[in-house]
């Protein structure tokens, strides 16, 4: 049995992860941590201190908190020898470098994935393939209104994969000065447009344009259940993967 603690246990993702861990015969939920203590999640009382992870001898901590909180949790857990599965988005390349360094030099490993849905990983792979034939590409990512970061980590990863896979970078027209932002964010030369609306969960549309044709790759997470098989896969794999594993794709290849 893998002893699992969840950081952000009272949140939308944290609650779903707690329930998935309890339902998995290979895992045991031993700690639930959030900013406010008291309430029970998946039958376990929530603690407001990560010390609960140590007190319960958690082997793996899963973080679905906030971009402003995640690095503090990562530093603390990896230094304490607790493996980490990080789903919180908004990490910068410098954050990833720091996690890699901590995991390489310390007693615990990390899996970090901006999207734990298998369909989103496949969409990224299909986009890499398409980029070789359609260098002109733009991304629209659509999420619920409470998402803290924009663009999404998934869209950033997809844009970088397209930029690396296409043979040349096409020149996309800029917008006019009167309407800044109309052309979206420029991620390695790929335009990314972020939509935030109630009613949405997590969606990504990758559009490739060529003479006389448009190819659209679309992935929709319609329920947080979509992320759970990937999260459980990471919980089970992290102890045997030294250092940092970045992206669910690496785990699917094993
Ligand atoms: P949420 O509902 O706001 O939940 C986050 C929870 O974490 C809140 O209860 C928050 O408490 C708590 N928290 C904040 N700082 C903390 C800390 N230092 N220690 C422990 N708990 C802390 O957010 P969500 O929708 O679940 O999303 C969480 C993160 O997961 C976001 O970054 C989101 O983009 C990401 N996400 C990733 C995936 C993926 O597949 N990788 C999928 C979906 C979402 P307060 O409310 O008091 O601050």
65 CA: nearest ligand 1 atom: 7
215 shares its domain with 168: yes
Mark whether 60 and 77 lie in a shared domain. Answer: yes
pTM listed for this prediction:
0.91
Q: Which residue in this structure is represented by tokens 């970061």? A: 149
List pLDDT tens digits, range 177-187.
889 899 999 99
Same domain? For 102 and 12 the reply is yes
d(C-alpha 65, C-alpha 113), whole Å = 14
- In terms of domains, do 37 and 90 share one? yes
Q: What is the pLDDT of residues 171-225, one digit of tens each?
A: 878 888 889 899 999 999 999 999 999 999 999 999 999 999 999 999 999 999 9
Ligand 1 centroid, distance to 187 Cα (angstroms): 24
Q: Which two tokens stand for residue 70?
A: 């995640």
Ligand 1 atom closest to the CA of 10, numbered from 1: 9
Domain count, the chain: 2
Protein residue with least CA distance to atom 31, ligand 1: 88
Residue 91 sits in the same domain as residue 107: yes
What is the pLDDT at residue 176?
86
10 Å CB burial of residue 250 (0-12, 13-18, 19+) is middle
What pLDDT does 225 receive?
96
The proportion of the chain whose per-residue pLDDT surpasses 70, expressed as a percent, equals 100
For residue 221, give the 3-state DSSP assignment. Answer: strand
107-121 tens-digit pLDDT = 999 999 999 999 999
Q: Determine the structural domain holding residue 68 and report its residue range.
A: 2-112+224-252
Q: Which helix (H) or strand (E) holds 76?
A: helix 70-80
The answer on 124 and 107 residing in a single domain is no
Closest CA to 165 of 204, 124, 111: 124
**Ligand 1 centroid from CA 240, angstroms:** 26
Query: Which residue is closest in CA terms to ligand 1's atom 14?
Result: 65
98/29 same-domain check: yes
Whether residue 248 sits in one domain with residue 179: no
115 exposure class (CB count in 10 Å sphere: 0-12, 13-18, 19+): buried
Q: Does residue 159 sit in the same domain as residue 39? A: no
In terms of domains, do 105 and 230 share one? yes
């Amino acid at each position: 049995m893998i002893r699992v603690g969840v950081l952000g246990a009272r949140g939308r993702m944290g609650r779903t992860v707690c329930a998935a861990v309890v339902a998995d015969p290979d895992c045991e939920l031993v700690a639930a941590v959030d900013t406010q203590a008291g309430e029970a999640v998946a039958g376990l009382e929530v603690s407001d201190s990560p010390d609960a992870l140590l007190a319960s001898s958690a082997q793996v901590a899963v973080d679905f908190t906030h971009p402003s909180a995640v690095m503090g949790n990562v530093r603390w857990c990896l230094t304490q020898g607790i493996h980490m599965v990080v789903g919180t988005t908004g990490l910068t390349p410098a954050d990833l470098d720091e996690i890699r360094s901590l995991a390489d030099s310390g007693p615990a490993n990390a899996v970090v994935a901006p999207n734990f849905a298998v369909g989103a990983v496949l969409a990224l792979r299909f986009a890499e393939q398409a980029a070789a034939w359609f260098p002109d590409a733009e991304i629209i990512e659509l999420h619920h209104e409470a998402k803290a970061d924009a663009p999404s980590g998934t869209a950033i990863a997809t844009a970088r994969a397209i930029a690396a896979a296409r043979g040349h970078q096409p020149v996309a027209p800029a917008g006019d000065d009167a309407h800044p932002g109309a052309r979206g964010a420029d991620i390695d030369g790929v335009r990314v447009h972020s939509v935030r609306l109630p009613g949405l969960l997590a969606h990504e549309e990758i559009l490739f344009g060529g003479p006389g044709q448009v190819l659209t790759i679309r992935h929709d997470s319609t329920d947080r259940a979509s992320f759970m098989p990937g999260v459980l896969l990471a919980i089970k794999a992290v102890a045997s993967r030294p250092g940092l594993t970045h992206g669910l794709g690496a785990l699917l290849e094993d």
